[in-house]
Structure 1
């Protein structure tokens, strides 16, 4: 059974006539009629009831319509996959973004990677530990993550190599109605869990720099920056969020920044991969992305872009 035969049968079923099916299939009616006869002769049975208008499948064949549609879809997909596997596109590029970066950065990565139309991309999302584990297990080709500026190299980090893509800033923000809470002795906050990267940044870099005598009062806790953004917009508490993520909310006045009263922390954005031998094609892709995306300041620096809107 040929794929084109299945598509011919479905064309007649969809169009209701041999003439319209022939037009849909891009051949003359006489040629299409002969092809339908060939299909029936090859299978050894009559498939269409030509006495009825519109033309329909014979009752016994009608029940096979779902299977034919599924088989057609699967064979077309298989053909596309075989074509892709033997073409320049090859294996898709797979990368993972730290949750906080998925919304803001991944569209730029995909746009840069697929600009020439010869590469498809798969995007994963996870916390920083997930990103590193997916790199180590070779589930992904590269990762986009935050890092503290001038962070000392560790035994684990020596397994990776990275390219700087620019910088972001973790800033305190809140709904306008909570502005006065920044000066309270007990500051109501939306907290990150202590075991996630941004929670560690808060504990190590922000907490020690809070105003003298001030303490934080966690009202809610989440590891997801998008969830924290919604909690901040709902006036639950003060949140430390990436400037890249909240720039639009700040420009609309839905949130206000509090880094004049509370500490903020600059974060580097890095593209990371395993420090191992790369195929020529993967090396070309890495170099292409490094050129296109690093640094963002050439085109879309996150801090400059956001401050340009706000100030």
Structure 2
């Protein structure tokens, strides 16, 4: 249904009057009546009980109200986004790994907002999904973890390091071993970024340490909850769990191997790019140590 049709219908619902609805929609009463008549003709029947004061939807049409409001909101947001893309206005979209959405992104949103780049949209996904968003134009910048010493992603990307982190094995302080002596763990799928890193760590476990996969998830935040709930050892970024370590809700599991150093990197498409991507890149890059200060 057309955006203006929905707005007209909701104006009548909200005011209870065709006269006040016409004023709200800033058109003459006669023009507004013709629009309502045209909407009802297109739909094949009346929507409003005109005998009532205030005017209201017919009983058969009342279930539509919630859907109409949701549709108007969604269409309005889509029109706003389309306009921002067309005009190159200040709105910016960051694609962040799930854990980074919960740790680093609030500080980035604050900095970008202060620079006039509003609204700031955060899209979450695993690392590969974030890069696909960047390539497709659904995101302006990617904020993700990377292993120090590795180069930029192939395929025309440019990267810069904006912070430091660590991947570490943690668990609830009272997590018991299984009866067979194996350590219960939550794994990541092999095709996600942390899955490859954890598989590398598992290949170097201390002698005598054996693992039992209790669960597998691609979501770092889900693995975090499993660790907090005492289900398993989880390998998590320190930025996500720093307060839990300080409060004793989680503890490091030394026998599960050493920590792995991580960088927090910002990635963009090489070349000129859109104006908001260039501005956002500069704002975040110029934060300097401020991003690292938000990490342990």
User: TM-score scaled to structure 2, two decimals?
Assistant: 0.71
Q: Matches of 2:13 and 2:49 in 1, distance apart?
A: 11
The one of 178, 189, 192 aligned to 1:196: 192
Q: Matches of 1:199 and 1:42 in 2, distance apart?
A: 57
Which one has a larger percent helix, Structure 1 or Structure 2?
1
**Residues 8 and 36 of structure 2 are in contact (CA less than 8 Å); yes or no, is this contact kept in structure 1?**
no
Equivalent position of 2:170 in the other structure: 173
Q: Matches of 1:218 and 1:124 in 2, distance apart?
A: 30
Deviations 1:66-121 (A, max 9, x none): 79x959948x938867875676726x422211233222223333332223444323
Equivalent position of 2:278 in the other structure: 283
Equivalent position of 2:95 in the other structure: 96
Deviations 1:101-157 (A, max 9, x none): 222223333332223444323322222222233333333222111111112x37x53
**Residues 175 and 232 of structure 1 are in contact (CA less than 8 Å); yes or no, is this contact kept in structure 2?**
yes
**Residues 49 and 55 of structure 1 are in contact (CA less than 8 Å); yes or no, is this contact kept in structure 2?**
no
Equivalent position of 2:295 in the other structure: 302
Query: Over aligned residue pairs, what C-alpha RMSD do you find?
Result: 4.6
Equivalent position of 1:247 in the other structure: 242
Equivalent position of 1:236 in the other structure: 231
Matched residue SS, 2:167: strand
Structure 2 residues not aligned, in runs of 5+: 38-47
1:224 aligns with 2:211: no
Equivalent position of 2:142 in the other structure: 143
Matched residue SS, 2:104: helix
Alignment of 1:151-166 (within 5 A): 151=150, 153=151, 156-157=153-154, 159-166=156-163
| Cα 1:63/1:200, change in 2 over 3 Å | closer
1:274 aligns with 2:269: yes
| Cα 1:268/1:206, change in 2 over 3 Å | farther
Matched residue SS, 1:177: coil
Matched residue SS, 2:118: coil
Q: Matches of 1:138 and 1:164 in 2, distance apart?
A: 22
Which entry has the higher C-alpha Rg, 1 or 2? 1
Equivalent position of 2:112 in the other structure: 113
| Cα 1:257/1:17, change in 2 over 3 Å | same
Q: Matches of 1:222 and 1:58 in 2, distance apart?
A: 47
| Cα 1:10/1:95, change in 2 over 3 Å | closer
Equivalent position of 2:128 in the other structure: 129
Q: Matches of 2:137 and 2:36 in 1, distance apart?
A: 47
Q: Matches of 2:195 and 2:79 in 1, distance apart?
A: 47
Alignment of 1:69-80 (within 5 A): 73=72, 77=76
Deviations 1:17-52 (A, max 9, x none): 799x59x96x9xxxx9xx6478669999xxx999x8
- Structure 1 residue 204: Cα displacement: 2.4
**Residues 13 and 55 of structure 2 are in contact (CA less than 8 Å); yes or no, is this contact kept in structure 1?**
yes
